[in-house]
Structure 1
Amino acid sequence: MSDAFVVNNLPDRTITYQEREYLFFSGTAYLGLPQHPAFQQLFVESVGRYGTVFGSSRNGNLQLGIYEEAEAKLAQFVGAENVLTLSSGMMAGQAVVNVLRLQKTELIYGPCAHPAIWDGPATALPSMSFADWAAQLPAQVQTMPAGPLAILLNSIEAVRSEYYTFEWVNALPDDRAITLVIDDSHGLGVLNNGRGIWPQVPKKPNVNLIVTASTAKAMGLPGGAIIGRTETLAATRKTAFFGACSPIPPAYLDAYLRADALYADRRDKLQQNLLLAEKLLIPTGLFTHAKGYPVFFTEQDDLYPFLLERGIFIYSFAYPTATDRANSRIVISAFHEFADIQKLAEAIYTYSF
């Protein structure tokens, strides 16, 4: 992108570009952990024990116990049977899709489903609203041919900051096996006090719930996770796709195991920042916002250059493909200070009024 800012340091609450400082309200580091000195120190200590990467297959004849220990901890926290980690959220999603493909599963996609769970680059997604899609889904499932069936969708509309409801799961037919795959990349670490979408989805005996997620967003760990039943994850682990994947660097999982207090503190700080941001930004009428979620979406794309002139950098680019319309949103993080949010609000009031 020719108009993109190119900087040479990790964005924090500010970035510096061409000798000018900007407040940074973009990215997906919702808890601000990659920038937190205490979290960085935990990782430095862990690198001393595990190095920078584990150059082996998870299915090799040498195993590192840190993987099972961290996966068990995350599973317990979320409330699921088991967790399997991979090198990214994209790999986690594709590992699940690979298994579905091997099983010759019929796939039903929800609106705006993340590319991580697409079955190929040209996957067609419904253009209707999520509410309309969910309302017609049980009837659609009834018309599907016998055989393996999976429903794939996101946990939240993270771009436009809209919550999804999952009561429709209870209305799915009881007389056939269904796999429900939910990409929770933007929810894990934030939704449901950090537990993500898993506790929120109704559980049905005939519905095999699988949650995939990037851990590189709120959780600050460059990897991905598959959350689900033990037997499901065991089958995924046996595939050539998983066996050929490089694992998440073990030092990050070691840091995760020792970061409980930091995660709790950063979630509290994010919620404090969100309370202030909601109080100041919602009355402008410019934003779509799911209460308690750190994204404020606006249709006013000219807000980006307006704020940029005033030393404030917000999210504004085409996503998920280069041909999509650029979307503009403000991202609140735990690394922000109250004064940052107040300065942002003052600039937006100038734009609005």
Structure 2
Amino acid sequence: MTYNLDSFPSNHISIEGKTYLYFGGTSYLGLQTDIEFQNLFIENIKKYGTNYGASRKSNIRISIYDDVEAYLAKHIGSQACVSLSSGYLAGQLVAQSLNTPDYTFFYAPNTHAALNLSVTKNKSVQSYQELKTALNLHLKNNTKQIPIVFLDAIDFHGTNFPDFEGLKTLPLSEIILVVDDSHGIGVVGEHGEGVFKTINALEPKELIVCCSLGKGFGVQIGAIFGLRTRINVFKNTPFFGGASPAAPANVATLIDAESIYNSKRRTLEYNLKLFLKQTKNLQRFKLMKGHPTFTFSDEKLNQHLEKNNIIVTSFRYPDETSPVMSRIVISAAHTEDDMNRLCEILNGY
């Protein structure tokens, strides 16, 4: 069932005068409704304004963009970074820029639409074995076009993160990887650095990571990470020059809120450990070690939760012909009482 709200959903939501515990969405650190974070963001709005609609190529430039991109690159572990106004735009910049005769696109199972181009004949596959076969055939018969494999780091099926077992079977030294880390960056890793270092350690021919920072960092920004030469190519495209950047208040908040991010990740880690310790029958969920999401397809469980005043993410994805996907999302906004109640209701099913 679909509900329309008048305010941002935190750990509790109100629907038709009734209060529910909310374990859904993508606000993993619970930042959007955190007062300290909001006040920091408001101060940056006062300093930088509500928006900046000019091109990054303009003769008048705001230095905070370069500062934040250098900060993010160091934090993630890449040579360079470029920011955009959204994660979807970041994915499209990468895909459209690489859509040349020099490359052939391949898509791993469950890859997000942000990395797809409707104008290309995408070589989609259902498994990594199928992908491996297709890549080996391409490398054998086509020495002119470098294969590019697109994938989601967090695919909610446990296919990739945290072990990337399927990815390890591919001839990575001959492949460029483009990874969407929107659900990992800011959340996974010891310092919220996401998966860049983990995948780069597998030694692909080249690694490009693109993502939304809105889920893990709580502000609307898209980002691309990779080699300095590759990032410079992206910066010199008409696509990048013609697009307005993320609001400068958004990017400034990334640096200023570092201590808040660290604190919220510790809270999230505590809540996640509590859930894993107290919940029985974890095998009913598709889960990824270190990520606060638990996917299930049992519609009766979803009904049981709602009957007990708990609402989780539940809808047909990626389109209306797809099966219903339900997901419990643990966040740093949840209290210990919230967690205890969730575990109690789940254990009573």
Match of 1:188 in 2: 185
- Give yes or no for the alignment of 1:101 onto 2:99: yes
Find out whether 1:66 has 2:64 as its counterpart.
yes
Residue 83, structure 1, aligned to residue 81, structure 2: yes
Q: Deviations over 1:141-184 (max 9, x none)?
A: 5235122321111112235686353465586265x5x3210011
Q: What one-letter code is carried by the residue in structure 1 that aligns with 2:179?
A: I
Give the share of equivalent positions with the same residue, in percent: 32
Is the CA contact 1:310–1:347 (under 8 Å) kept in the aligned structure 2? yes
The within-5 A match list for 1:312-327 is 312-327=310-325
1:202 Cα deviation after fit: 3.6
Check 1:202–1:83 CA distance in 2 against 1; reply closer, same or farther (3 A cut).
closer
Q: Which residue of 1 aligns with 2:136?
A: 139
Q: TM-score, normalised by structure 1?
A: 0.91
Structure 2 residue runs of 5 or longer lacking an equivalent are none
Aligned to 2:237: 239
Separation (CA, whole Å) in 1 of partners of 2:277 and 2:3: 30
Instruction: Give the whole-Å Cα distance in 2 for the aligned partners of 1:214 and 1:102.
Output: 25
* 1:165-204 superposed matches below 5 A: 165-166=163-164, 168=167, 172=171, 174=173, 178-193=175-190, 194-203=192-201
Q: 1:28 aligns with which of 26, 29, 50?
A: 26
C-alpha deviations, 1:116-155, integer Å up to 9, x for none? 1012188563122x4x356546624523512232111111
Partner Cα distance (1:63, 1:123) in 2: 38
Residue equivalent to 1:126: 125
Which stretch shows the higher mean deviation, 214-223 or 144-153?
A: 144-153
Q: Deviations over 1:60-114 (max 9, x none)?
A: 1111100010011011011111111111110000000011114552101100011
Describe the shift of the 1:276–1:133 C-alpha distance in structure 2 as closer, same or farther (beyond 3 A).
Answer: farther
Residues in 1 aligned to 2:131 and 2:146: alpha-carbon distance in whole angstroms:
20
| Match of residue 148 from structure 2 | 150
Of 302-311 and 23-32, more deviation after overlay is shown by: 302-311
Q: What's 1:51 paired with?
A: 49
Q: 1:282 to 1:134 in 2, by over 3 A?
A: farther
Change (3 A) 1:218 1:66: same
Amino acid at match of 1:208: E
CA distance in 1 between counterparts of 2:189 and 2:204 reads 24
One-letter amino acid of the counterpart of residue 43, structure 2: E
The alpha-carbon deviation at position 316 of structure 1 amounts to: 0.6
The answer to whether the 8 Å contact 2:24/2:329 transfers is yes
Cα deviation, residue 39, structure 1: 0.7
Q: How many residues align?
A: 345
Preserved CA contact (<8 Å) 1:33 1:219: yes
102-111 vs 49-58, which moves further: 102-111
- 1:297-336 to structure 2, matched below 5 A, reads 297-336=295-334
Q: How far apart, in 2, do the equivalents of 1:281 and 1:89 lie? A: 33
* Distance across 1 between alignment mates of 2:137 and 2:29: 39
Name which of structure 1's ranges 112-121 and 48-57 shifts more when overlaid on structure 2: 112-121
Counterpart among 250, 253, 263 of residue 252 in structure 1 = 250
